[in-house]
Amino acid sequence: MMLRRRTLLAATAAGLAAPAIVRAQSADTIRIGEINSYTAVPAFTLPYRNGWQLAVEQINAAGGVLGRKLEVISRDDAGRPQDAIRLAGELVNEQKVDLLAGGFLSNIGLAISDFAKQQGKLFVAGEPLSDALVWQKGHRLCFRLRPSTYMQAAMLVPDAAKLKAKRWVTVAPNYEYGTSTVKWFKQLLSAARPDVAFVGEQWPALGKIDAGATVAALAEAKPDAILNVTFGADLTNFVRQGNTRGLFEGRDVVSVLTGEPEYLDPLADETPPGWIVTGYPVDSVTDAANRVFIDAYKAKFGERPRMGSVVGYALIQAIAAGITQAGSTNTDAMAGKGFPGASFATPFGPAQWRAQDHQSTLGTYVGRTALVDGHGTMVDWRYVDGAAALPDDNTVKSLRPA
Within a 13 Å sphere around the CA of 203, how many CA atoms are in the beta-carbon half? 10
Instruction: Say if residue 322 is in the same domain as residue 242.
Output: no
Chain length of the chain: 402
The verdict on residue 16 lying in a domain is no
Burial of 30 (0-12, 13-18, 19+ CB in 10 A): buried
In this prediction, residue 402 carries a pLDDT of: 67
* 351-368 pLDDT per residue, tens: 999 999 999 999 999 999
* 284-333 pLDDT per residue, tens: 999 999 999 999 999 999 999 999 999 999 999 999 999 999 999 999 99
* 56-91 pLDDT per residue, tens: 999 999 999 999 999 999 999 999 999 999 999 999
Instruction: Say if residue 246 is in the same domain as residue 158.
Output: yes
The verdict on residue 277 lying in a domain is yes
Instruction: Say if residue 224 is in the same domain as residue 134.
Output: no
Residues linked to residue 142 through DSSP beta bridges, in sequence order: 123
Distances (CA, A) of 381 to 1, 7, 66, 194, 293: 9, 20, 39, 27, 19
State how far the Cα of 359 lies from the Cα of 367, in Å rounded to an integer: 23
Nearest to 176 by CA among 260, 105, 277, 84: 105
pLDDT > 60? residue 24: no
The verdict on residue 25 lying in a domain is no
Instruction: Say if residue 46 is in the same domain as residue 82.
Output: yes
In this prediction, residue 12 carries a pLDDT of: 32
Instruction: Say if residue 308 is in the same domain as residue 262.
Output: no
- CATH number of the domain to which 165 belongs: 3.40.50.2300
pLDDT > 50? residue 191: yes
The verdict on residue 180 lying in a domain is yes
pLDDT > 50? residue 337: yes
Instruction: Say if residue 263 is in the same domain as residue 376.
Output: yes
Instruction: Say if residue 37 is in the same domain as residue 137.
Output: yes
Instruction: Say if residue 186 is in the same domain as residue 322.
Output: no
- The answer to whether 189 touches 246, Cβ cutoff 8 Å, is no
The verdict on residue 72 lying in a domain is yes
The verdict on residue 296 lying in a domain is yes
Q: Which domain holds residue 78?
A: 30-148+285-363
Task: Tally the domains of the chain.
Answer: 2
State how far the Cα of 272 lies from the Cα of 248, in Å rounded to an integer: 8
Instruction: Say if residue 121 is in the same domain as residue 97.
Output: yes
Instruction: Say if residue 124 is in the same domain as residue 185.
Output: no
The verdict on residue 11 lying in a domain is no
Instruction: Say if residue 258 is in the same domain as residue 379.
Output: yes
State how far the Cα of 280 lies from the Cα of 278, in Å rounded to an integer: 7
pLDDT > 80? residue 23: no
State how far the Cα of 227 lies from the Cα of 297, in Å rounded to an integer: 33
In this prediction, residue 1 carries a pLDDT of: 35
Give the N- to C-terminal CA distance of the chain in Å, as an integer. 40
pLDDT mean over 373-387: 96
Nearest to 215 by CA among 235, 186, 189: 235
Nearest to 30 by CA among 95, 104, 127: 95
Coil, helix or strand for 264?
helix
**Rounded to two decimals, what is the model's pTM?**
0.91
pLDDT mean over 255-268: 96
* DSSP category for residue 22: B
Instruction: Say if residue 289 is in the same domain as residue 317.
Output: yes
The verdict on residue 51 lying in a domain is yes
